[in-house]
Amino acid sequence: MSNRPDWSPTPLAGLVVVQRPRFEDHRGFLSRFFCADTLREAGFDAPVAQINHTLTRERGALRGLHYQRPPHAEVKMVSCLRGEVFDVAVDLRAGSPTFLRWHGEVLSADNRRSLLIPRGFAHGFQALTDDCELLYLHSAAYAPDAEGAANALDPALAIRWPLDITGLSERDRTHPMLDPDFKGITA
């Protein structure tokens, strides 16, 4: 048996769904979470520089949309360890044929899916259950001066969040709407 994850491309070039296999017996299970050699092929092309763990307590709560500008742009792999979320990535890459398009995936502890998000994408999610825990692997450490954000409710993005929004931080609520002259993030 191979413990190699499967990955599937999405309609947005570079954005990949990673499916982690799970092997079970009477003792429990094993699932390889990260292997640099195999995930490099899927697009995680740098060492892990930072790992973050989050808890979102309330079903319907929304977080995002966040990104890091160059030279601190990052590849990110997002996984749900408890609960279920609707995870969204938005293509902000200047010149991309899918510029300003978004893709969403349900990530859960049960489905063992991760979203591998390339540089130049904004990321956010909505909790579909209470007490959702996410684990993020980042290819670059957080750099406050390089932080960028888009408003998750921006009509220009038209993200179809599956639930009524029950919680949004003041910071995320006040992220700017995209300027009509926004040309995207350059590498």
Q: Which residues are catalytic?
A: 66, 136
Alpha-carbon separation of residue 135 from 107, 119, 138 (angstroms): 11, 18, 10
Nearest to 162 by CA among 127, 114, 122: 127
Which residues are within 8 A (CB) of 16 and not within 5 positions of it... i.e. 6 or more apart?
Answer: 7, 8, 9, 10, 42, 43, 115, 116
Output the furthest CA–CA distance in the chain (Å, rounded): 58
Q: What is the distance between the alpha carbons of residues 56 and 48, in angstroms, rounded to a whole number?
A: 23
Q: What is the distance between the alpha carbons of residues 114 and 20, in angstroms, rounded to a whole number?
A: 8
The alpha carbons of the chain give a radius of gyration, in whole angstroms, of 16
Measure CA 51 to chain center. Answer: 13
Alpha-carbon separation of residue 111 from 20, 105, 122, 140 (angstroms): 9, 11, 23, 27
